Structure 1
Amino acid sequence: MFRENIARSHVLNDGGVLTTQIMLATALPLYAGDVVTNLTFASGGTAAASPTNWWFALYSDDATPALLGQTADQLTGAWAASTAKTLALSSAVQITRTGVYYAAVMVKAGTVPSLVGLATLTGAVTGITTGDKTLTTVSGSALTGTAPATIASPSVSAFVPRVVAT
């Protein structure tokens, strides 16, 4: 299984969209029967400097997305510039219904990495028709080693990082 939210050929930007200890979540279409074991995000031209916690997580397609799985906390592990990081979820997640799920990344560091993706307009990120899911959100505060149970009180981000689920 291979699912992505943006085709590699459509990645046009290097975005400084992460804020230390704040989770960024991006929409990811998944299909009933998919089994997600890994998530991959790629840094842009800025590396993580002095990281103390960082992880990826997968959230449901519910109105208030619930945590389905998280990778191990990478703690002080390096994340160099222009590097794709593939992290395994603590256990495989079986997708039971087709929908738009959310893949999340959080980095607590002196300098957070930039991410590759696509810059867009806020109006495009939030959608234009009833039922459109927000493409990218930021949420949480003072996050460290554990992903929040839900994506609660999210704010819209106008940058969509590329994520791949395998």
Structure 2
Amino acid sequence: MSLGTFRGIPRNDLGYLNSSGRPDPDAVFHRANLPRVGLDDVATAATGVMCSVALYLHEGDLVSNLTFVSGATAAGTPTNQFAALYSGSGALLAQSADKTTEAWAADTAKTFPLATAQRIAKSGVYFAALSVAATTVPTLIGSTAAKPVLTGEGNLAQTSGSGLTGTAPATIATPAFKRAVPLVIAT
């Protein structure tokens, strides 16, 4: 096998990527958009604005839940909270129920069960979205990313919509680049 000028063992050189998943292949199914290391507290969206992140899913995956983790800032007086899964082209596949006024403390994972589990028909990039309407929107655990530079590159995170309440839009319309990329875990 030809690896150009690389002389190491690819499995060893890329071992740090294992921090993004469970080391046991028999563990519970999940997909994540970011590794579990190097994360920080990031502000993702204003109240009633949806933040969607790129998430690579594989053919045959069954996605039933989307989990986000709050950072140092808890949700203050939430009125609406939902998560949704979108296709790579931005079409709504499924959304969670609206968690309305349910508390979301700081440094807490919150799982949003999708109304209908989605069996992924084609491997590729999908979008996991979150919208929270609250007097104080929680910060999330995540990372920061650069704006797309090359032709064909997509946003790793983006915002869209305004004044959203408990229903996900049918499409991700007019997405705007977002530097903050929240961690999402699909199970």
2:83 is matched with which residue? 56
Distance 1:41 1:24 in 2: 11
Q: Which runs of 5+ in 1 are unaligned?
A: none
Measured after TM superposition, the shift of residue 87 of structure 1 is 1.4
Distance 1:154 1:132 in 2: 14
1:76 is matched with which residue? 101
1:2 is matched with which residue? 30
1:159 matched to 2:187? The reply is: no
SS in 1 for 2:37: helix
Q: Which runs of 5+ in 2 are unaligned?
A: 1-28
1:145 matched to 2:166? The reply is: yes
Q: Contact conserved, 2:44 with 2:181, CA < 8 A, in 1? A: no
Q: What amino acid is aligned across from residue 160 of structure 1 in structure 2? A: V
Q: What amino acid is aligned across from residue 45 of structure 1 in structure 2? A: A
Residues 16-55 of structure 1 aligned to structure 2 (within 5 Å): 16-55=43-82
Normalised to the residue count of structure 1, the TM-score between the two structures is 0.93
Q: Contact conserved, 2:160 with 2:174, CA < 8 A, in 1? A: yes
Measured after TM superposition, the shift of residue 50 of structure 1 is 0.5
Q: What amino acid is aligned across from residue 52 of structure 1 in structure 2? A: T
1:90 matched to 2:152? The reply is: no
Q: Contact conserved, 2:95 with 2:115, CA < 8 A, in 1? A: yes
Q: Contact conserved, 1:41 with 1:164, CA < 8 A, in 2? A: yes
Measured after TM superposition, the shift of residue 86 of structure 1 is 1.1
Distance 1:18 1:137 in 2: 9
SS in 2 for 1:10: coil
Measured after TM superposition, the shift of residue 46 of structure 1 is 0.2
Q: How many residues align?
A: 159
Distance 1:148 1:17 in 2: 18
Distance 1:136 1:148 in 2: 17
RMSD: 1.0
Q: Contact conserved, 2:56 with 2:125, CA < 8 A, in 1? A: yes
Q: Percent identity?
A: 51
Q: Contact conserved, 2:51 with 2:160, CA < 8 A, in 1? A: yes
- Greater RCO (Cα-Cα under 8 Å, separation 6 or more): 1
2:23 is matched with which residue? none
Normalised to the residue count of structure 2, the TM-score between the two structures is 0.82
Distance 1:131 1:35 in 2: 27
